[in-house]
Amino acid sequence: YRDASADVFRVLNGNFKLVEKASIDEAYVDLTDDVQKLKDENFPLAINDFPTTHLAGFTTKTEDERIEILSKWLKDCQSDDEQRNLDLVFGAYLVEQVRKKIKDETGFFCSAGIARNKILAKLCCGFNKPKKQTVINQTDVDHVFDQTPIQKIQGLGAKAGDRVMELLQVEYVGQLRKYTLDVLQASIGEKDGYWLYNLVRGIETAPVNSRNLYKSISASKNFPGKTSLDTLDKIRTWCHNLAEDVFNRLEKDRAENKRRAKLLTVTCTLNTNETIARSCPISEYSIDRFANDTFRILKQFNKSPSSSNIYTPAIISFGIGAGKFLENANTKSIVDLFSKQTTKTETIKSTENTTRWQEYEDYDDDDDGSNSEDKILQKPTATVPIQGDFFRKFQKTDEQIKPQPKSETKTTSSIVSFFSRYASNENIPNCSPEKSSEHYTTCSKCQKSILVWNMPEHEDFHYAHELQMEENRSNSMIAPPIKISKPVKRKNEKQKSNIQTLDSFVNKKPKS
């Protein structure tokens, strides 16, 4: 299904500039520029160009009725009074063409809705499924809304729709037109009231954003009734199965989109109807690491004795999601961090020369880490701090950096003094476990127990330290021998015999 979705989106992106991927099987397309181009060319249209098009608000039982209503609409749209609907005519034509192309190239049928905004387009897309498309004129919005239940509108489903219906005693969208802006804002809030006031009049301004990548990649499964996961062995098996699925898709995504996920999120629902979600950083791409991290997280909620294989309360649903993607093009590795770059913003001086570093901002971590399949990626600005900031989180907050003695080897840069601060054990982060070892993993380099979510930074520290040691070795190999020459006497140095004290000058004996 995911591969089929990719094929469909490939056709859409090949025909339109602005495509927003709303979910695995839903997209919004901005047709404004394409429609304007057809209008400028006075592109001719005929009824035969709309073989699957319907009008919202009109019920047609036969093909002849559909053609009759559509023919009248096309004629009216070309008159002076209905020019505002002419854009919708050209939009419907473009969508007919791309849907045909999708069918020819992929074999899949698509339904579509054509309107002035995203909410109206989504609403009328479902009016004549499958294999058809529906257009809603702006002049017909009131008529359509009079027959549309509140919860059919995007953003008014579930609890939000129930709240509006309860507070305002309405059932259909059209019934909200009788309320003033002040009443709506007083009932459901200033922002929501303003949005709802415009919506019931067919006004909605959310733009189509060009987004084609998922914000997260996830896999999940339900275990109802007797199939619930009530033993550690069952949980371990499914941790591996779901981890393998997520890993394979992440590897494919990395190859195609040149990006890596940095956060793993585990969500589970217990048979007590309690839903829990926990996240941890992704330190490496591997099935075993994903499975082990997931199992470690799930074990935290086991109330059975540690010696037992029983897991209580049993799990009736759980999933694994990977998110917080960073693109390779914008992500700086630890090697790049220590490469010389010319910049005007930050200068770090060494004993012999000056090395310039480019300053970066921290990556925005405000995302909630949700593993929902239909959330979409907005490209983040992946950034890395400069040298000093990068390891600052390893230092104690109250610890002052002491000046390091000057190195005798002049070819050694200031990075040597930087790493000498971490040479002793007292400056290495305290990684000993406190209470539960389930939150820790063992570092393969120093054999210390590290918090799972601190592991990426800890590995970066080792990597950077190894780079520095290698640089030190190379510097010592190419450093020229130090020539020791005899001390040169200063030219202005006077003979010792000529030096007299003040007393000898004052106490000179008079000549006889």
Q: What is the pLDDT of residue 281?
A: 93
Task: Enter the pTM of the model.
Answer: 0.54
Burial of 391 (0-12, 13-18, 19+ CB in 10 A): buried
Closest CA to 117 of 136, 104, 98, 99: 136
Question: Distance between CA 337 and CA 418 in Å, rounded?
Answer: 14
Q: How far apart are CA 306 and CA 436, in angstroms?
A: 12
Characterize the bridge pairing of strands 133-135 and 112-114. Answer: parallel
Q: Please name the residue that has the structure tokens 């012999």.
A: 352
Report d(CA 259, CA 467) in Å as an integer.
25
Rounded (to 5) percent helix, strand, coil in the chain: 45, 15, 40
Task: With residue 230 as reference, give the H or E element that holds it.
Answer: strand 229-231
Position 139 scores a pLDDT of: 87
Cα dihedral 422, 424, 429, 435, rounded to 10, equals: 170
**HEC profile for 63-119?**
HHHHHHHHHHHHHHHCCHHHHHHHHHHHHHHHHHHHHHHHHHHHCCCCCEEECCCHH
Note the Cα 234 to chain centre separation in Å: 32
Contact in structure between 379 and 363 (CB atoms under 8 Å): no
End-to-end CA distance of the chain: 124
CA 125 to CA 85: how far, in whole Å?
Answer: 18
Name beta bridge partners: 323. 216, 263
What phi and psi values does residue 433 have, to the nearest 5 degrees? -65, 150
Rounded to a whole number, what is the largest CA-CA distance in the chain? Answer: 149
Amino acid identity, position 145: F
> Element (H or E) spanning 2, and its range?
helix 2-15
Residue 300 CB contacts under 8 Å (≥ 6 apart), including other chains = 278, 436, 438
As a three-state string, the secondary structure of 146-191 is CCCEHHHCCCCCHHHHHHHHHHHCCCEHHHHHHCCHHHHHHHHCHH
* Domains of the chain with CATH codes: 2-145 (3.30.70.270), 216-390 (3.30.1490.100), 414-478 (no CATH)
How would you write the pLDDT of the chain (512 residues) with one tens digit per residue? 778 888 898 899 889 989 998 888 899 999 999 999 998 888 888 899 999 999 998 888 899 999 999 999 888 887 766 567 889 999 999 999 999 999 999 999 999 999 999 999 999 999 988 899 999 998 899 999 999 999 899 888 878 888 999 899 999 999 999 999 999 999 989 999 999 999 999 999 999 987 767 788 889 999 999 999 999 999 999 999 999 999 999 998 888 888 999 999 999 999 998 999 999 999 889 999 999 999 999 999 999 998 899 999 999 999 999 999 988 744 444 444 554 444 444 433 333 333 332 322 333 333 433 333 333 333 333 333 333 333 334 444 444 434 444 444 443 333 333 333 333 343 433 433 344 444 556 676 777 777 655 666 676 677 677 767 766 666 555 555 545 455 555 555 444 455 555 555 555 555 54
| Separation of alpha carbons 471 and 350, rounded Å | 15
Fill in the DSSP letter of residue 213. Answer: S
Residue entry with tokens 């809603």? 136
Q: What is the pLDDT of residue 2?
A: 78
